[in-house]
Chain A
Amino acid sequence: MSASADGALLEVRNLRTYFDTDDGVVKAVDDVSFQLQRGETLGIVGESGSGKSVTNLSIIRLIQEPPGKIVSGEVIFKGQDILSLRPAAVRKIRGRRIAMIFQDPMTSLNPFMKISKQLMEMTQLHLGHTKTQAYEHAIRMLETVGIPDARSRAGSYPHEFSGGMRQRVMIAMALSCEPELLIADEPTTALDVTIQAQILELIRKLKQETGTSVILITHDLGVVAGMTDHVIVMYAGKIFEQAKTKELFARPGNPYTKGLLRSVPDPTAEQGKLYQIPGLPPDVAHLKPGCPFAERCDRVEEICRREFPPFVELTPDHHSLCHFANEVYGG
């Protein structure tokens, strides 16, 4: 553990990940920078296709090449640039220092391997456990994530587990080497609401106990509000707004964020029409020169279609990509 107390655990600088498609170059992630402190939870919010997942896959170099390519940028993890490491060195980080949980627990476990074997693989690989050690560790991890009767269920196959249980197994797997960073890519999207709450509670609890930093990718603003310290709002491969969670919810500095917040259903409100942001996300292969959100923005002006907006610093902790960031922030 080399980094100093105030040093960032992870720093992403000017990350650009492009995909070569028949339709042209898709700039899935375009100039994204952020920092993550130790023990902190960062939320990344955005619509489908906004580059949330690609950003995080880029961090541990899991972009399929070709067609994808990390064009430029740095991913500094504990003082090391992951993007310039050799593949073997990156493999040592994956799972050991940075672990991931994926969206769909139904497909992210190998259907032909026993649960115990899949858990054991992690620690055998990274911690050099013997079979017995790895097995005992696997059982402990299953108990930790709340699998009842772990010892007798460890020999089961994934199809014998429900979605929520599988996601618990995924969490057990991700945390079994005590990683310093856990990337949860929409961990609750495929689960029903009651299970969602359980899983989120579990992640929060384990995070507190282990001090792991978490990046939580989601399109559910409610999840972000309850779980995270900082939030990044992504749109069309770019960071639109970046702020402390409380601040972002209280005083959004970007029309897009405002739109997102307005489109969250309010259970206390009388019946009425649910707000939605008009239009669809732009085709990131053919972006126009102006602001990518201009077509859908309710306070669009002529400059928005002409010039790409600046990344305005509202407070040292709060940035927004908008020509009128200050006005939006001001109310």
Chain B
Amino acid sequence: MTPIDTEIDTELVRGTSLWRDAWRRLLKNKLAVFGLIIVALVTIASIIGPTVIKRAFGFTPDYIPTSDVRLIRSFPPFTGPNGEFSWAHPMGTDNAGRDQLARVLQGGQISLFVGIISTLVSLIIGVSYGAIAGYAGGRVDNAMMRVVDVLYSLPYVIVVIVLLSMFRSQTPRGQLILLFVALGSVSWLTMARIVRGQVLSLKNQEFVLAARATGVTAPRIIFRHLVPNTLGPVIVYATLTIPQIMLTEAFLSFLGFGVQAPLASWGSLAADGVQNIAIFPWQLIFPGVTMALTLFSLNFLGDGLRDALDPQMRTT
């Protein structure tokens, strides 16, 4: 077989993927770029911050100065034990004299970690579940989505609280894992619906028929052909799920169901701070502001991604 001549321009065309276009659109959105930068900064600071502080000043987030025998060990920001200016505690210290900055950064680690892991769990369950339901269609779809409807109708914060108090773990780490399971297991529902809807509209497109006509098996069609096509909305929703889950985590920790001391999350730090709000306001302000800023940024980023990945979805 010999090639057939065509008069089509043979100039080398560089492959521009949909992702590159989306990236360009994202960079045009100032708010989204701001969000991206803040999220990146908070993430990096949370990851390396506690180590840097330990190197510089020699204390870990859970270090309690035992030499200090005074009753009040909570200093305002940039203040040393004797009221003098000091770089040691830019955010002050908490009731036990632990460095507030180190605690906020470690809390950030855990808050982000909870947000991302729970979102991943919801991503894996939700995408598979929704894609299978959508592709199968008919009775299978009906049954699977009714399950989702039933779970949806349960008030999910209460479900999480019940789960967490039923399986109370003895160790802080065990409690953290429980938190992942509890949050992940309820947050996949919307994802499943989104993916199912996408798959329903995609599966009647000709490329799916073409794939079936070439003998591709159903699981391969679902996960190789359909799921990548739903990725835009999925990424957008996942980005918006992270702050949502972080907020829920903060809420649960605030109520005392989530992360337990000596581990800290922004929610549990805020809970501690609230008790002393009149006397030591910095205990609430710093974790609160950090959390608000991060959640804002994640939401900006999510909105920006939505505009970038799916321009038709934009609502003025």
Contacts and interface: CB of A to CB of B under 8 A. Distances in A.
A66 B137 CA distance: 10
Contacts of A100: 210, 213
Chain B interface mostly: loop
A152 B12 contact: yes
9 contacts: A60-B213, A62-B213, A66-B138, A96-B215, A108-B207, A111-B18, A111-B229, A144-B4, A149-B10
Interface in A137-155: 143-146, 148-149, 152-153, 155
Interface in B1-41: 1-6, 8, 10, 12-13, 15-18
Given A62-B209, A102-B209, A209-B1, A146 B215 contact: no
B210 A91 contact: no
Interface string A262-300: 000000000000000000000000000000000000000
B5 A146 contact: yes
Nearest to B10: A148
B212 interface: yes
Interface string A60-75: 1010001000000000
Contacts of A85: none
Contacts of B84: none
Nearest to A95: B214
B65 to A, nearest CB: 56
Interface of B: 1-6, 8, 10, 12-13, 15-18, 138, 205-207, 209-217, 224-225, 228-229, 231
A126 B213 CA distance: 12
User: 5 closest Cβ contacts across the A-B interface?
Assistant: A95-B214, A146-B4, A94-B215, A108-B206, A95-B215
A157 interface: yes
A206 B231 CA distance: 37
A92 interface: yes
Given A144-B1, A145-B4, A110 B18 contact: no
Contacts of A104: 206
A139 B13 CA distance: 16
Nearest to A143: B3
A165 B214 contact: no
Nearest to B225: A110
